[in-house]
């Protein structure tokens, strides 16, 4: 794969004075994956001489960091050894690069989330442990004049929705806004465990426990990745088969069936589908719209492979619906449960070969990431973390299509391509 040429790398600090001190992180922050989440935004050239100029991007980033000042700090430790954010205003890493090899269309046609793409389009990051920077940004100019904006943000301080809020705010300020459209909230104590005498762990929370058979992190990290497009008509036909369930649940149910078939798992084997649920609006009271932290919880449902593959897809979709409808008590129970465990020993390195983990990025509006030169043609993850991971997101374009981004064992991917294509063909009948 062609390499990019790095032109510069520097620190961008907040444009004005910002608060100092530390920010306490919740159990949901500490229970997440300890690492950086790399994403990429692809932008078509528009002929403007100032198109993604380094100076304008650094200027708007510096002004955005005034509101999002924790990102300019460092991951730190309290005196008790608990991970926190130290608000030091040291800045974020900003890299400019160029590639004479790719046009935007060529890169988008070749793009799949993988280590090579991450290394090409996102700055290298250090070990994700204190002390470390929290945000790395790279602007890569392509041969055609198009740009890829790549970033890696530390997952311990924010989830995908919070990260999207930062980039939408940066885009808004780049377009000329004087203040953030939504004020960020850094009060992670809103997700603190209840006092000891009031704690109530009402659920098993198996998703936060080690599997009976430990997952080999080396094997889990070996995967093939691919993107699959579902047209608006195909999505509509699938939803019609899964009446009463959401688009995400219907698409994930179909992917679950196809993955089980592609892996040629025995009918008696147990398969678990993990999902992530955003609890911002489900808590009582709801979190502020600008909550900047981790507010998602893991949920899961189990079934036998035979049940998943031999039943109509609506059955799997309803199984998913049943475990992605949790409310306040489930979230509070989880936070209380995590208060009594060592979060450093929670499972993070992968999942069993019979399981699947699904995440929705469908709610991320690309139009809100317009930095003043047009909305991105596509945004998505730059990397898949292990085998058995699936994202459902908006596909490039404005035709209502969806993209299914999947990582799978290399030996299973060819069969998945076949069975998934067969299912999509049936949806067009």
Element (H, E) at 390: strand 389-394
Q: Within 159-285, where are the H helices?
A: 160-174, 217-220, 232-241, 247-262
User: With the C-alpha atoms ordered 126, 364, 157, 372, is the resulting torsion angle positive or negative?
Assistant: positive
Residues 6+ apart with CB under 8 A from 341: 208
204 is catalytic: no
Parallel, antiparallel, or unpaired: how do β-strands 83-87 and 21-24 relate? Answer: antiparallel
Find the catalytic residue in 154, 155, 330, 355: 155
Whether residue 117 contacts residue 111, with contact meaning beta carbons closer than 8 Å, is answered with yes
Beta-sheet pairing, 74-77 with 132-133: antiparallel
Dist CA 9 CA 224 (whole Å): 31
State the CB neighbour count (10 A cutoff) for residue 316.
Answer: 27
Alpha carbon distance 104, 110 (integer Å): 10
Q: Which ranges in 39-156 belong to alpha helices (H)?
A: 54-67, 104-110, 115-121
CB 42 within 8 A of CB 379: yes
Number of alpha carbons in the 13 Å side-chain half-sphere of residue 62: 14
Rounded to an integer, what distance in angstroms lies between the CA atom of residue 156 and that of residue 34? Answer: 6
Q: Which of 59, 119, 368, 370 is catalytic?
A: 370
Radius of gyration (C-alpha) of the chain in whole angstroms: 21
Phi, psi at 258, each rounded to 5°? -70, -35
Among 276, 83, 292, residue whose Cα is nearest residue 191? 292
Whether 155 is catalytic is yes
Q: Do the beta carbons of residue 107 and residue 145 sit within 8 Å? A: no
Q: Which residues are annotated as catalytic?
A: 155, 370
């Amino acid at each position: 794969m062609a390499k990019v040429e790095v032109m510069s790398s520097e620190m961008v600090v907040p444009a004005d004075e910002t608060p100092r001190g530390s920010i306490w992180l919740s159990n949901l922050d500490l229970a997440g994956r300890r690492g950086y989440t790399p994403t990429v935004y692809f932008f078509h050239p528009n002929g403007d001489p100032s198109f993604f100029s380094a100076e304008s991007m650094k200027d708007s980033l510096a002004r955005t960091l005034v509101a999002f000042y924790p990102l300019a700090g460092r991951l730190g430790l309290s005196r008790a050894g608990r991970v926190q954010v130290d608000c030091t205003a040291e800045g974020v890493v900003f890299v400019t690069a160029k590639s004479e090899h790719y046009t935007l269309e060529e890169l988008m046609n070749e793009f799949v989330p993988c280590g090579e793409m991450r290394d090409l389009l996102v700055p290298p990051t250090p070990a994700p442990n204190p002390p470390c920077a929290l945000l790395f940004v790279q602007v890569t100019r392509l041969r055609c004049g198009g740009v890829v904006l790549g970033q890696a943000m530390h997952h311990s301080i924010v989830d995908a929705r919070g990260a999207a809020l930062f980039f939408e705010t940066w885009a808004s300020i780049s377009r000329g806004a004087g203040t953030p459209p939504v004020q960020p909230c850094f009060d992670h104590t809103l997700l603190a465990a209840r006092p000891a005498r009031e704690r109530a762990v009402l659920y098993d929370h198996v998703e936060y426990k080690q599997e009976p058979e430990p997952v080999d992190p080396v094997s889990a990290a070996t995967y093939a990745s691919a993107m699959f497009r579902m047209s608006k008509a195909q999505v509509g036909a699938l939803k019609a088969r899964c009446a009463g369930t959401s688009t995400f649940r219907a698409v994930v149910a179909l992917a679950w069936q196809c993955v089980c078939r592609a892996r040629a798992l025995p009918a008696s084997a147990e398969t678990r589908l993990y999902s992530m649920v955003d609890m911002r609006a489900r808590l009582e009271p709801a979190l502020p719209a600008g909550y900047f932290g981790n507010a998602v919880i893991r949920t899961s449902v189990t079934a036998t492979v035979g049940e998943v593959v031999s039943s109509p897809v609506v059955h799997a979709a309803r199984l998913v619906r049943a475990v992605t409808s949790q409310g306040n008590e489930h979230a509070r129970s989880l936070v209380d449960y995590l208060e009594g465990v060592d979060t450093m020993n929670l499972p993070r390195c992968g999942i069993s070969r019979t399981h699947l983990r699904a995440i929705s990025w469908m709610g991320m509006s690309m139009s809100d990431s317009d930095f003043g030169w047009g909305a991105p043609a596509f945004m998505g993850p730059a990397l898949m973390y292990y085998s058995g991971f699936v994202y459902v997101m908006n596909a490039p374009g404005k035709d209502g299509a969806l993209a299914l981004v999947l990582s799978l064992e290399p030996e299973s991917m060819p069969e998945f391509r076949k069975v998934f294509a067969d299912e999509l063909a049936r949806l067009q009948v």
